[in-house]
Chains A and B, each alone.
Chain A
């Protein structure tokens, strides 16, 4: 059976309606299966959370199944991460994520919402979420919401998005992607990724065929799950279903550009505290690190204030 390929998507409807159909509804339907493939924290995120001081409270914007809510495991209950997601079904899973420390705090909401006291969090993470927003303006706004919800003097932010630059295995799986001419022309940014549909297969074969067929059928989804666990269907007799999730795959440098645009929109200087102060700025955001890891771009930010 051939792999189900990633296909180029065209965002033609109102962004919110589009995301409702191609993101929110999909996650609500695949929640349980999706969650079973997402349990292992990515190293840079685990490290980020392990360095958060005791007593801090943070937001996981787009928490999914809540796999980051119990971290750090070696200091249970020393920090509190509150999970926000648009998928109610994923939140039902997230509220009991992990085995330590009992139930989690989760909120049903939108990453573009502002249902918080401004600056009340000490840190915020947004992992594999902003790439589900279907316009550059909405992606910029999402970064702004993260910057606004954390403390203006010490807030830390970590963002992960899916990259056009895929790891080796994924390159084979998505040969059609990477052609810049297929990207959306109305995006004013010179660094523009591509809009795609990524299939999620709720498969259903007998146990003995799972290994061979499941591998190809779920090839794409499997690459997204860096942990590469077997996450085929659950062995029911129902026919398999394919759900296409909308993604904006980021080009190299696009995430940094988004951060700059978001920060400037809030009147924040982008640069180190010392540099900003020497130039007379009173508030800003420093890029602590950015890079590519396992088919994703990430950026870590810290807010500063004089």
Chain B
């Protein structure tokens, strides 16, 4: 699956593409919403490790504007529920992720992103 929890970790790894290679931009995506177990402790502990701007931008690309541009200092239940939904309930099933820098296209098919590179593209 490509949920935004994974998207927040993925970066382009084409040979020589080391700057502006994160985040990847979604293109022509089809999404599905699937409920998943809400675990506020996971979210609280995971939050500091997120690249927040990348998450908010990606969510907006997928049509979800529930997250604030800055990570809030006060974390309440309502915010955690929104974060949970964005991170773990929006599934990108089809489409692609494109590197902003080198424009390499990573296709997504049946919910699985293809991060394989050809031998000559590997750094």
7 extra A-B contacts, CB within 8 A, seeds A95-B1, A107-B115, A115-B106? A53-B45, A54-B41, A76-B39, A80-B46, A116-B11, A118-B11, A122-B49
Determine if B105 is an interface residue (Cβ-Cβ < 8 Å): no
Pick the residue among A55, A78, A103, A115 that contacts B10 (CB under 8 A).
A115
Question: Contact between A113 and B9 (Cβ–Cβ < 8 Å)?
Answer: no
Bound-complex Cα distance A91 to B46 (A) = 25
Chain B residues contacting A78 (CB-CB under 8 Å) are 39, 41-42
Bound-complex Cα distance A120 to B48 (A) = 11
Determine if B51 is an interface residue (Cβ-Cβ < 8 Å): yes
Question: Contact between A55 and B11 (Cβ–Cβ < 8 Å)?
Answer: no
Nearest chain A CB to B63's CB is how many angstroms away? Answer: 20
Question: Contact between B49 and A120 (Cβ–Cβ < 8 Å)?
Answer: yes
Determine if A105 is an interface residue (Cβ-Cβ < 8 Å): yes
Bound-complex Cα distance A107 to B97 (A) = 13
Nearest chain A CB to B45's CB is how many angstroms away? Answer: 2
Bound-complex Cα distance A122 to B50 (A) = 12
Bound-complex Cα distance A86 to B106 (A) = 15
Bound-complex Cα distance A82 to B51 (A) = 17
Query: What is the interface size of chain B, counting residues whose CB is below 8 A from a CB of the partner?
Result: 37
Determine if A22 is an interface residue (Cβ-Cβ < 8 Å): no
Chain A residues contacting B22 (CB-CB under 8 Å) are 117
Question: Contact between B122 and A113 (Cβ–Cβ < 8 Å)?
Answer: yes
9 contacts between A and B (CB under 8 A): A55-B45, A78-B42, A79-B42, A104-B1, A105-B1, A110-B115, A110-B117, A113-B116, A116-B11
For window 12-59 of B, CB contacts with A under 8 Å fall at 12-13, 22, 34-37, 39, 41-46, 49, 51
Determine if B5 is an interface residue (Cβ-Cβ < 8 Å): yes
Instruction: List residues of A whose CB falls within 8 A of some B CB.
Output: 16, 53-57, 76-80, 82, 84, 86, 88, 91-92, 95, 101-110, 112-118, 120-122
Question: Contact between B122 and A55 (Cβ–Cβ < 8 Å)?
Answer: no
Nearest chain B CB to A179's CB is how many angstroms away? Answer: 33
Chain B residues contacting A118 (CB-CB under 8 Å) are 11
Bound-complex Cα distance A242 to B15 (A) = 37
Question: Contact between B37 and A101 (Cβ–Cβ < 8 Å)?
Answer: yes
Bound-complex Cα distance A24 to B76 (A) = 46
A95 and B46 in contact (CB under 8 A), knowing A102-B37, A117-B11, A121-B9? no
A107 and B11 in contact (CB under 8 A), knowing A16-B119, A120-B49? no
